[in-house]
Amino acid sequence: MRRSRFPVVVTALVMAFFYLPIFILVANSFNPARFSSRWQGFSLVWYRRLFESPEIWAALKNTLLIAVSVTAVSVVLGTAAAYALHRYGQSRLQRVHYTLIYQPLVVPEILMGISLLMAFVAAGVPLGLFTVFLAHVTFCVSFVAMTVLGRLQDFDFSIVEAARDLGASPWQSARKVLIPALMPGIVAGALLAFTLSIDDFVITFFVAGPGSTTLPLRIYSMIKYGAPPMINALSTLLLAVTFTAVVASQRLARAKR
Amino acid sequence: MDDGRRKSEKSRFDPLRKAPFRLDPIFRRKAEWLVTLPTFLWLTLFVAVPTLLVFVIAFRPANPYGGIGAGWTLDNVRALATPATLAIAWRTLWISLLTTAISLLLSIPAGYTIARASERWRNRLLMLVIVPFWTSFLVRVFAWRSLLHPEGPVKRVLEALGLVGPDATLLYNPAAVVLVMVYTFLPFTILPIYAAAEKFDFRLTEAARDLGARPFQAFRKVFLPGIRRGLLTAVLVVLIPSLGSYIIPDLVGGPGGEMLGNKIAQRVFTDRNLPLAAALSAVLVLAVLAPLAGVLVLQRKSKKADIIMGEAP
């Protein structure tokens, strides 16, 4: 039976729609023209400007500081949460737990941002790097928990029972059997948390204070108030980082399946 | 290492050792609390309590320092009923619904094609969908901002084709908001539809064709109901963030394309009136809960509800 060509055509158009803006952006980052309408030859001038900008370096430092600490905390919390959900899934406590974990995944970012801002204002917590850290962990935990939960669902718990039968303590069986088996899921969750933290704008915008400008906040103000083509260069670098992270996480997801 | 080995050797010969996993209920209960409590407390403190707080602060007066005043008031709720706010709410709704409709129309053929492709092509196409899914949101919005710019390439192509005049503005209108929202949410809708289509048994549509159905009939009456769960998920993952959109209307919408999210941000950052922002946010919470509850009920009818991560790779 002959299949219709229509879906294939739509898919090709969708892919073009996805990548055309990105290609033009990358191309423009190498274009020395200030208003990137005409191609004026290959140049790295915007990259040089970017590396010479102290604000960018300060923002990058904040972003990485937050992303690394957020990833560390949310991986520990998220993995424990996934284990709890999987092992004790039937209890009433876990049903409430699941709803709590689920909420950051579905609530629009702006609502999370504003509700956290109000909580910090009401509690008198000064806004800054620390509040950004708290906010980021809050949404990253859920993504880590869901990623690890996916891995747990494929995991055969009789291996842990075998370890216990052979005399391993609960801690030993977790450290030597369970966690190594879950590692691809944990690393994938960590990559996801790291990317989400580096990329987050909306929530950060609400809970950041003076001196806690992150890279997305910096990019936003560059876009909003007089955009020099430096953003093209910065975006291209970010794309390269994301692309590497995606390839790495795909390899991990496929590993040992 | 050594220490652990010694301990396990000792326990192997311990006749009083309890059988693994047949732990007494109190220990099991304790272990459950131990692994649950950290996230439970964290998310209660930073998700549940703040959400409730929004509804409380909506009934408090503002103080002149941008904080929250003492006492209770209905002024913020009354301020919601103004024609300007209602117009914004209406625009938020139609922009979100239109974005959802267009995203679904494009995602169904794309998800279908990916599911039916050979394994090699399927992996390639999935990769192509996942990369924008992970790419910085701001970067993607910025890319469109420069594309639609009066000096940008889209304008020049359209002008050369004679489709728009020289003074047409492509940016700063609701259409630009819909375009960029579709662009940003499309990967999120393709993935669940693909996941459902991949599990779909295509012999069913073939059977329908054999029994005399036209291709479109087989598609509409057999394939679409078969991927219903994926479609519901796709609706949620585009409709909910659309309703809460803020950056896209802010960067490409202009004053004519403002949505509820922009109003909330203006109350916070321009007017420094948190209670008014809380009242608007409360409306948004309710607007988001309605489709969520609807879809959850529909999904509960068909198996357990695993909405976002359950189906994404």
d(CA B233, CA B309): 10
- Nearest-Cα distance to chain A for B20, in Å, is 6
Q: How confident is the model at residue B229 (pLDDT cuts 50, 70, 90)?
A: confident
pLDDT at position A33 is 75
DSSP collapsed to 3 states, A16-60? HHHHHHHHHHHHHHCCCCCCCCCCCCCCCHHHHHHHHCHHHHHHH
Nearest residue of B to residue A98, measured between CA atoms: B40
ipTM of the complex: 0.87
Judging contacts by C-beta atoms under 8 Å, the chain B residues touching residue A94 are 32, 36
| Ranges A184-193, B12-21, B75-84, B91-100: which has the least confidence | B12-21
A202 close to B (CB below 8 A): yes
B284 contacts A84? CB cut-off 8 A: no
- Nearest-Cα distance to chain A for B40, in Å, is 6
pLDDT at position A131 is 95
A105 contacts B50? CB cut-off 8 A: no
Q: What is the pLDDT of residues A195-247, one digit of tens each?
A: 889 989 999 999 998 888 999 999 998 888 765 678 888 888 888 887 887 77
d(CA B37, CA B24): 20
Strand partners, B68: B62
Q: What residue ranges do the domains of chain B occupy?
A: 84-301
B284 contacts A108? CB cut-off 8 A: yes
A93 contacts B32? CB cut-off 8 A: yes
A242 contacts B44? CB cut-off 8 A: no
Residue B139 has pLDDT above 50, yes or no: yes
Mean pLDDT for the stretch of residues B189-193: 93
DSSP one-letter code for A205: H
Residue A61 has pLDDT above 80, yes or no: yes
Mean pLDDT for the stretch of residues A31-58: 78
d(CA B21, CA A157): 11
Residue A250 has pLDDT above 80, yes or no: no
* CB-nearest partner of B47 from A91, A103, A108: A103
Q: How confident is the model at residue A65 (pLDDT cuts 50, 70, 90)?
A: very high
CATH number for the region B84-301 comes to 1.10.3720.10
d(CA B87, CA A85): 43
pLDDT at position A203 is 95
A124 part of a folded domain:
yes
Q: What is the pLDDT of residues A44-54, one digit of tens each?
A: 888 888 888 88
B247 contacts A202? CB cut-off 8 A: yes
Mean pLDDT for the stretch of residues A19-27: 88
DSSP one-letter code for A154: T
B130 contacts A121? CB cut-off 8 A: no
Q: Which CATH number goes with the domain that contains A95?
A: 1.10.3720.10
d(CA B259, CA B142): 19
| Ranges A85-94, A240-249, B51-60, B244-253: which has the least confidence | A240-249
pLDDT at position B250 is 93
A42 part of a folded domain:
no
* CB-nearest partner of A169 from B7, B51, B274: B7
| Ranges A10-24, A148-162, B189-203: which has the least confidence | A148-162
Residue B53 has pLDDT above 90, yes or no: yes
Judging contacts by C-beta atoms under 8 Å, the chain A residues touching residue B41 are none
A107 part of a folded domain:
yes
Residue B13 has pLDDT above 70, yes or no: no
pLDDT at position B16 is 45
B109 contacts A10? CB cut-off 8 A: yes
- Nearest-Cα distance to chain B for A82, in Å, is 9
The total number of structural domains that make up chain A: 1
* CB-nearest partner of A231 from B43, B68, B142: B142
Q: How confident is the model at residue B24 (pLDDT cuts 50, 70, 90)?
A: low
pLDDT at position A56 is 87
Percent share of chain A, pLDDT over 90: 39
pLDDT at position B246 is 92
Residue B109 has pLDDT above 90, yes or no: yes
B32 contacts A88? CB cut-off 8 A: yes
Strand partners, B275: none
pLDDT at position B23 is 53
pLDDT at position B25 is 67
B139 contacts A25? CB cut-off 8 A: yes
A187 part of a folded domain:
yes
Interface mutation target, options B36, B105, B170, chain A, most CBs of A under 10 Å: B36
pLDDT at position B32 is 84
Residue span of the structural domain in which A115 resides: 66-232
- Tally Cβ neighbours within 10 Å of residue A14: 21
Instruction: Identify residue B116 by its one-letter amino acid code.
Output: R
A216 close to B (CB below 8 A): yes
Q: Are B135 and B143 in contact (CB under 8 A)?
A: no
> Does residue B62 sit in helix, strand or coil?
strand
Residue B141 has pLDDT above 80, yes or no: yes
A195 contacts B53? CB cut-off 8 A: no
A238 part of a folded domain:
no
Which of A157, A164, A176 is CA-nearest to residue B12?
A164
The mean pLDDT of chain A is: 87
Which range, A70-74, B130-134, B151-155, has the best average confidence (pLDDT)?
Answer: A70-74
In chain A, which among 153-182 make CB contacts under 8 A with chain B?
161, 164-170, 172
pLDDT at position A42 is 81
Pairwise pLDDT comparison (A256 vs A162), residue with the higher score: A162
A102 part of a folded domain:
yes
Percent share of chain B, pLDDT over 90: 40
Judging contacts by C-beta atoms under 8 Å, the chain A residues touching residue B2 are none
Q: What is the pLDDT of residues B262-309, one digit of tens each?
A: 999 999 988 888 899 999 999 999 988 888 888 778 777 655 444 443
Mean pLDDT for the stretch of residues A76-94: 89
In chain A, which among 9-68 make CB contacts under 8 A with chain B?
10-11, 14-15, 17-19, 21-22, 24-25, 28, 35-37
A206 contacts B143? CB cut-off 8 A: no
The mean pLDDT of chain B is: 83
Pairwise pLDDT comparison (B82 vs A1), residue with the higher score: B82
d(CA A103, CA A125): 23
* CB-nearest partner of B143 from A25, A103, A105: A25
